Amino acid sequence: MKKFLNINDIEICIDDTEDGENTVLLIHGLTGNKSTMYPIRDMFKDEYRVITIDTRGHGESTRPEQYTIDDHANDIHEIIKELNLEKVDILGYSMGSYIALRAAEVKCDDINNLILVCTKPNGKTSSVARLLKEANLDITQVTQEEMMEVILKASVAPQSFEKIASGELNIEGLLKGDEGQELNEEEKAAEDASLANFDNSNDYDKVTCNTLVIAAEYDGINPPELGREVADGIKDAKFELIENAGHLVVAEQPDEFQNIIKDFLNN
């Protein structure tokens, strides 16, 4: 069920399956929205209450002219409070993992388990902006098609290209989601600025919840060694490397991805 929550003086749009004893909150990646996380939602909705969100600046949520990763983190805790949830499991994908980690560094008393997928500890800008710059493209001017082409080249394992071309592997939903909710040039610039020089590596010691870091062998956006660095910095964090997959690991190796997370949550 779609809901709008008044959070920190803005509206945050969420999708809430509502049923389930334990709750998993999903945070999407760069330029995404809650619908880009539906493939993950569908993996867990039969066993968990799953909440997908449009982070501020995205989807159907309010799109401020400027915001920070700390604003995102504070929004997460306010969402949990607004929904009267005692504790949740949080899964953040790519940009969503930076937000999830920052939220855990703010406080962990409302987080049971933390799952960081295709993550990195810090960055001068977003990984996508870096890739676009290397391709001589400006994130504020690039078309969605140009952006997707650059992302795709850095996002999948070599064997996945043939599957995408043949239609055997469908990545449209994970990459684009609801195309009616795309960001305009100013909104992309605000999104990119929110990640400028972010650094989550200074407060690893504040993360006291159970933590799982998932990396992918062929991830050219956030290479696996960066995920390993995050896992090594957080006490007792578990690290899992999924082979034969890239940044779109959710689509490339869905069964292994799902099993790793379920094993972690169940144990």
Query: What span, in angstroms and rounded, lies between the C-alpha atoms of 117 and 129?
Result: 19
Which pLDDT score, from 0 to 100, does residue 260 have? 98
So what's the pLDDT on residue 25?
A: 98
| pLDDT, position 135 | 82
State residue 244's pLDDT score: 95
- How far is Cα 147 from Cα 226, in angstroms, rounded to an integer? 23
Q: Are 96 and 26 in contact (CB under 8 A)?
A: yes
**Residue with the two structure tokens 């987080």:** 111
Instruction: With H, G, I as helix, E, B as strand and everything else as coil, classify residue 94.
Output: coil
Which residues in 8-68 belong to E strands, given as ranges? 10-16, 23-27, 49-53
pLDDT tier, 176 (very low <50, low <70, confident <90, very high otherwise): low
Q: What is the pLDDT of residues 104-114, one digit of tens each?
A: 999 999 999 99
Percentage with pLDDT > 70 across the chain? 97
Residue whose structure tokens are 């159907």: 60
CA distance 135 to 152: 13
pLDDT at position 49 is 98
pLDDT of 179 higher than 80:
no
Question: What does the block give as tokens for 137?
Answer: 């493209």
Residues ≥6 apart with Cβ < 8 Å to 184:
none
Q: pTM of this prediction?
A: 0.92
Are the CB atoms for 237 and 191 separated by under 8 Å?
no
Interval 112-167: pLDDT, tens: 999 999 999 998 777 777 888 888 888 777 787 787 777 777 778 988 878 887 88
Three-state SS for 210-267 is: EEEEEEECCCCCCCHHHHHHHHHHCCCCEEEEECCCCCCHHHHCHHHHHHHHHHHHHC
What are the E-state strand segments in 34-138?
49-53, 88-93, 111-117, 122-123
> pLDDT digits over 55-98, tens only?
999 999 999 999 999 999 999 999 999 999 999 999 999 999 99
Beta-strand relationship, 122-123 and 198-199: antiparallel
Summarised one tens digit per residue, pLDDT across range 186-239 is 998 999 999 999 999 999 999 999 999 999 999 998 999 999 999 999 999 999
In this prediction, residue 175 carries a pLDDT of 67
Is the confidence at residue 174, as pLDDT, over 80? no
Q: Where are the beta strands (DSSP E) in 37-171?
A: 49-53, 88-93, 111-117, 122-123
Nearest alpha-carbon partner for 92 in 117, 113, 121, 110: 117
Q: Which helix H or strand E contains 208, and what residues bound it?
A: none
pLDDT tens track for 11-61: 999 999 999 999 999 999 988 999 999 999 999 999 999 999 999 999 999
